[in-house]
Amino acid sequence: MTNQRALARIDLAALRANVAALRAKAPGAAFMAVVKADAYGHGMVPCARAALEAGAGWLGVATPEEALAVRAAGIGPEQARVLCWLWTPGGPWRECVEADVDVTVSAQWALAEAVAAARAAGRPARVQLKIDAGLGRNGAQPAQWPALTAAARAAEKAGLIQVTGVWAHFSCADEPGHPSIARELAVFRWAVEQAADAGLEPEVRHIANSPGTLTLPESHFDLVRPGVAMYGISPVPQVGGPADFGLRPVMTLAARLASVKSVPGGHGVSYGHHYVTPGPTTLALIPVGYGDGVPRHASGAGPVLVAGKWRTVAGRVAMDQFVVDLGGDAAAAGDEALLFGPGDRGEPTAEDWARACGTIAYEIVTRIGPRVPRVYDGCA
Ligand SMILES: Cc1ncc(COP(=O)(O)O)c(C=O)c1O
Closest CA to 260 of 211, 328, 312: 328
Same domain, 286 and 369: yes
**Does residue 75 sit in the same domain as residue 194?**
yes
Q: Which domain holds residue 296?
A: 251-377
Which are the contacts of 63, defined by CB distance < 8 A and separation ≥ 6?
Answer: 36, 84, 86
User: 248 by DSSP, 3-state: which?
Assistant: coil
- Distance from residue 108's CA to the centre of ligand 1 (Å): 24
Burial 155-189 (b: 16+ CB within 10 A, else e): bbeeebbbbbbbbbbbbbbbeeeeeebeebbebbe
Give the total number of structural domains in the chain.
2
* 64 Cα–ligand 1 center, Å: 16
The answer to whether residues 89 and 220 belong to one domain is yes
Q: Looking at ligand 1, which atom is closest to the CA of residue 62?
A: 16
Residue 177 backbone dihedrals phi, psi, to 5 degrees: 85, -5
Last residue of a domain, one of 198, 230, 262: 230
| pLDDT value of position 98 | 98
For ligand 1, atom 14, name the residue with the nearest CA. Answer: 227
Which residue's CA is the nearest one to ligand 1's atom 2? Answer: 169
What SS3 state is found at 206? strand
Of 375, 371, 377, 303, whose CA–CA distance to 343 is shortest?
303
Domain final residue, candidates 196, 230, 264: 230
Sorted by sequence, the CB contacts under 8 Å of residue 159 that are 6+ apart come out as 124
The CA 368 to ligand 1 mean position distance, Å, reads 18
Please name the residues in contact with 295: beta carbons below 8 A apart, sequence gap of 6 or more. Answer: 302, 317, 353, 357, 359, 363, 364, 367
Task: Please state, in angstroms and rounded to a whole number, the distance separating the CA atoms of residues 229 and 174.
Answer: 12
Same domain, 286 and 159: no
Q: Which of 31, 34, 61, 87 has the most ligand 1 atoms within 8 A of CB, as the residue to mutate?
A: 34
Domain co-membership, 255 together with 178: no
Burial pattern 68-83, b for ≥16 Cβ within 10 A else e, equals: bbbbeeebeeeebbbb
Q: CB-hemisphere CA count at 13 Å for 162?
A: 11
Q: Are residues 280 and 218 in the same domain?
A: no
pLDDT score, position 1: 62
* Residue 68 phi, psi dihedral angles, 5° rounding: -70, -35
Closest by Cα among 270, 251, 239, 130 to 192: 130
What number of other Cβ atoms are within 10 A of residue 209's Cβ? 23
**Tens of each residue's pLDDT in the chain, 380 residues:** 678 999 999 999 999 999 999 999 999 999 999 999 999 999 999 999 999 999 999 999 999 999 999 999 999 999 999 999 999 999 999 999 999 999 999 999 999 999 999 999 999 999 999 999 999 999 999 999 999 999 999 999 999 999 999 999 999 999 999 999 999 999 999 999 999 999 999 999 999 999 999 999 999 999 999 999 999 999 999 999 999 999 999 999 999 999 999 999 999 999 999 999 999 999 999 999 999 999 999 999 999 999 999 999 999 999 999 999 999 899 999 999 999 999 999 999 999 999 999 999 999 999 999 999 999 998 87
Q: Is 156 within 8 Å of 165 (Cβ atoms)?
A: no
* CA dist., res. 372 & res. 379, Å (int): 19
What is the Cα–Cα distance from 168 to 132, expressed in whole angstroms? 6
Pocket of ligand 1 (CB under 6 A): 34, 60, 85, 169, 209-210, 225-229, 235
| Number of other CB atoms surrounding residue 55 within 10 Å | 14
What is the SS3 assignment for 58? strand
Residue 290 and residue 194 share a domain? no
Here the CATH number for the domain that contains residue 364 is: 2.40.37.10
Q: Are residues 30 and 162 in the same domain?
A: yes
Residue at a domain's end among 197, 230, 263? 230
Q: Are strands 6-11 and 374-377 parallel, antiparallel or unpaired?
A: parallel
Rg from Cα positions in the chain:
23
**Same domain for 208 and 82:** yes
Q: What is the pLDDT of residue 379?
A: 85
Cα–Cα distance measured from residue 37 to residue 322, given in angstroms and rounded to the nearest whole number: 26
Q: Do the beta carbons of residue 51 and residue 35 sit within 8 Å?
A: yes
- What CATH number is given to the structural domain containing 66? 3.20.20.10
Same domain assignment for residues 100 and 157: yes
